[in-house]
Structure 1
Amino acid sequence: MSIRAENLVWRIGKKTIIDGVSLEVKPGLMLGLLGPNGSGKTSLLRLLAGLKRPQAGRITLDGQDLKGIDRRQIARRVAFVEQHATTNASLKVVDVVKLGRFPHRSMFSGWTLADDAAVAEALERAGMTQKRNDPWQSLSGGERQRTHIARALAQAPQELILDEPTNHLDIQHQISLMRLISSLSITSIIALHDLNHAAMFCDQLIIMQEGRVVTVGTPEEVMTEDLLKTVFRVDGRIEASPYHARPHIHFMR
């Protein structure tokens, strides 16, 4: 197993945001997290990344309780790409990616050839090698997202958690980014709004509503017309895509 959550509960004051959520992510697979706004997706991702602690339930990495793992150790294992990640505008692309090496270095250790190699590989995998010396403010939205993913990859994670990374990107960059993430040979958990992107790229889906898990399964199992209507409040027809083996949703006017 990779990441496992058991009966998670997380509240803000008296309001329950995550209510009894359990899940398991198998190594090497891409898990899509879907649900309407306010369903608890971002909060769940932050719990899984160890950035927040649940009031009840537990999260384990390969059977070890996350509460018993040092924060630096978690950062060596799990990388989190936030939806609205901020970066100092004066930095170059390569400097942003170098930040991903901090969990692997002690306070007094110098920069090493291994760090250089990890950064170069991360830039290559994210398709940003040619932009390595470009200033941050000169990048497009898609390039900035790829840079954040490169920084996460420089951590050498076994699990990659992403919160709606395609938001505010044009369709070309959305598809390009999803292809990049799905090509990575690591476990990934990704919150998405686009149901067709989730069906096309994810191995497994979890549908959330009001802090609870509605259903779990493959895109073929999960995507139903009844689910579209009851959870997402839209009418749609599930069709076989002419371009890939996954289901495609045709939304009705």
Structure 2
Amino acid sequence: MSIKADNLTWKIGRKTILDGVSFEAQPGRMLGLLGPNGSGKTSLLRLLAGLKRPHAGRVTLDRSDIGTISRRSIARRIAFVEQHATTNANLKVVDVVKLGRFPHRSMFSGWTRADEEAVESALARAGMAEKRDERWQNLSGGEKQRTHIARALAQSPQELILDEPTNHLDIQHQIGLMRLVSGLPITSIVALHDLNHAAMFCDTLVVMQQGRIVASGIPEEVLTESLLKNIFSVEARIEISQHHSRPHIHYLR
């Protein structure tokens, strides 16, 4: 088992943001979280990462309620890259990535070979090894996103949660980043706006509207013309590729 949402409800004041949300992320697979703005995606991700507590229901990690697990233990298990993740200090790339090792180190422990290997592996996986000595402020938007993912990977997580990681990136960096995440041998949950990216890279999809799940399953079953019209208010034609059976969305004028 991996990470599971069980009948989650979360509110701000009297307003219900999430209403009875349930699903399970399959181990080692990529789950795409879709929905219009305001559908509750970011709030759901923060509950899954243990950063907020639900008003009802629970999040479980291998059947254990996340509310009973220490913050440090969660950070060793789950890495969360927020939508507007930033780094204030003008650190080197390698120093940003080293921050991911904090959950694994005590206050008085020195830097270990395991820490070094985790950082080097994360830099290599994220394609940032050659940029290790570059300063944060000199990086492109895509390089900053890859650095944040490298920092998350340095945590040695079993689950990786990303909130719209391709926002504000050019198409080359969007595709490269999605390929990177989909190729990782860990469970990933990714909130996305681009429906074709979701269809191309995700193993399963969960579609939300007004705090509720309205569809879930494999991309070719979930992404239908009627769903696009009813949930996303777009007219589209969907073709299924003969090579990999993934749907491709053609938006109509």
Q: For the superposition of Structure 1 and Structure 2, which TM-score range results when normalised by the shorter chain? A: over 0.9
Aligned amino acid, residue 20 of structure 2? G
Secondary structure in 1 aligned to 2:60? strand
Could you tell me which residue of structure 2 aligns to residue 44 of structure 1?
A: 44
For 1:23 and 1:140, the matched residues in 2 are separated by 35
- CA displacement at 1:241 relative to structure 2: 3.2
- How many positions carry a matched residue from both structures? 253
Tell me if 1:163 matches 2:167: no
Please state how far the C-alpha of 1:244 moved relative to its aligned partner. 4.1
Deviation at 1:206, TM superposition (A): 0.2
Structure 1 equivalent of residue 64 of structure 2: 64
Q: Which residue number in structure 1 is paired with residue 120 of structure 2? A: 120
CA distance in 2 between partners of 1:11 and 1:106 (Å): 35
The answer for the alignment partner of 1:28 in structure 2 is 28
Match of 2:228 in 1: 228
Query: 2: CA distance between counterparts of 1:247 and 1:9?
Result: 32
Note the 1:34-113 alignment, pairs <5 A.
Answer: 34-113=34-113
Q: CA deviation at 1:80?
A: 0.1
Seq. identity, %: 76
TM-score, structure 1 as length reference: 0.99
CA contact (8 A) 1:6 1:59 kept: yes
Note the alpha carbon deviations across 1:57-93, whole angstroms, 9 max, x for none: 0110000010110000000000000010120242000
> Which structure 2 residue ranges, 5 or more long, are not aligned?
none
Shift of 1:245: 2.8
Does the 8 A contact of 1:46 with 1:52 survive in 2? yes
What letter matches 1:233 in structure 2? S
Q: 2: distance between equivalents of 1:167 and 1:14? A: 31
Letter matched to residue 110 of structure 2: G
Deviation digits for residues 170-190 of structure 1, max 9, x if unmatched?
Answer: 000000000000000000000
TM-score with structure 2 length normalisation? 0.99
SS in structure 2 opposite 1:91? coil
RMSD: 0.9
Q: Per-residue displacement from partner, 1:107-138 (whole Å, max 9, x unpaired)?
A: 11111111111100000000000000000011
The separation in 2 between residues aligned to 1:233 and 1:83, in whole angstroms, is: 24
Whole-angstrom CA distance in 1 between matches of 2:116 and 2:88: 21
Say which is worse superposed, 180-189 or 242-251, in terms of deviation.
242-251
